[in-house]
């Protein structure tokens, strides 16, 4: 009798553990099914929002009669209702889709494909013919207003120079991988670390660099 009691005490926890594992498996399956359904719903909602934005915007953009070029998308490309990142997405074009390009503003090309009209980030589509020249001219004007024409041309040529500010450096060669800074009686010293270059700033001005 004692042996049977002892055996039942051993088997009972084992059976409970098996039941718990089966329950966990079943609940995990249900969770996966629900997660997939949620993803489908979220994608559907996103598609509806994009369609609503498109319908609100489609009649508001004026496009000239003659396109500058016909180019293809280099990646999945979001089309926005304004030439800025805060603009609402009105369409998404897959990679390698052809579109007509009309004008450039603030880093975005005004494009048209079928009934879709909006703004595409310049890095997401190809550039042919006059497009690069037009973009560079726009960027020169915009940068000249901030830094003067001389420094604007240097920035567009990815140059660095003694006396440039951190903001000019960021515009010219991008953000550093790391910034090491220290402050003392002499002021503020910063070391900007890039892959193949280090820049050294004293009180907001570039004093030297090391390749």
Report which of residues 135 and 7 the model is more confident about: 135
151 in the same domain as 126:
no
Q: Is residue 151 scored above 90 in pLDDT?
A: yes
Whole-angstrom distance, CA of residue 43 vs CA of residue 47: 6
| Domain contains 19 | no
164 in the same domain as 104:
no
Q: Which residue, of 130, 156, 179, is where some domain finishes?
A: 130
Distance of CA 90 to the CA centre of its chain: 17
Give the chain's radius of gyration (CA, Å): 29
Q: Is residue 118 scored above 70 in pLDDT?
A: yes
- CATH number, domain with residue 158: 3.30.1450
pLDDT tens digits for range 6-22: 555 555 565 666 677 77
75: containing domain: 69-130
pLDDT tens digits for range 49-99: 666 665 565 556 666 668 889 999 999 999 999 999 999 998 999 999 999
Q: Which residue, of 109, 130, 151, is where some domain finishes?
A: 130
Q: Which two tokens stand for residue 20?
A: 């718990």
Distance of CA 66 to the CA centre of its chain: 30
């Amino acid at each position: 009798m004692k042996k049977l009691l002892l055996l039942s005490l051993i088997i009972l926890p084992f059976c409970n553990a098996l039941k718990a594992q089966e329950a966990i498996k079943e609940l995990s399956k249900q969770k996966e099914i629900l997660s997939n359904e949620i993803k489908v719903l979220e994608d559907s909602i996103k598609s509806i929002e994009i369609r609503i934005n498109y319908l609100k915007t489609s009649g508001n953009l004026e496009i000239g009669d003659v396109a500058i070029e016909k180019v293809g998308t280099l990646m999945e490309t979001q089309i926005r209702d304004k030439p800025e990142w805060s603009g609402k997405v009105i369409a998404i074009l897959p990679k390698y889709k052809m579109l007509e390009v009309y004008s450039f503003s603030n880093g975005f090309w005004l494009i048209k494909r079928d009934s879709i009209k909006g703004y595409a980030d310049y890095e997401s589509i190809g550039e042919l013919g006059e497009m690069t020249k037009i973009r560079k001219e726009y960027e020169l004007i915009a940068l000249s207003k901030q830094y003067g024409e001389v420094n604007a041309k240097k920035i567009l040529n990815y140059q660095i120079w003694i006396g440039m500010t951190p903001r000019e450096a960021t515009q010219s060669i991008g953000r550093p991988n790391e910034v090491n800074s220290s402050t003392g009686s002499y002021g503020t010293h910063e070391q900007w670390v890039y892959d193949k270059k280090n820049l050294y700033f004293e009180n907001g001005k570039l004093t030297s660099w090391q390749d």
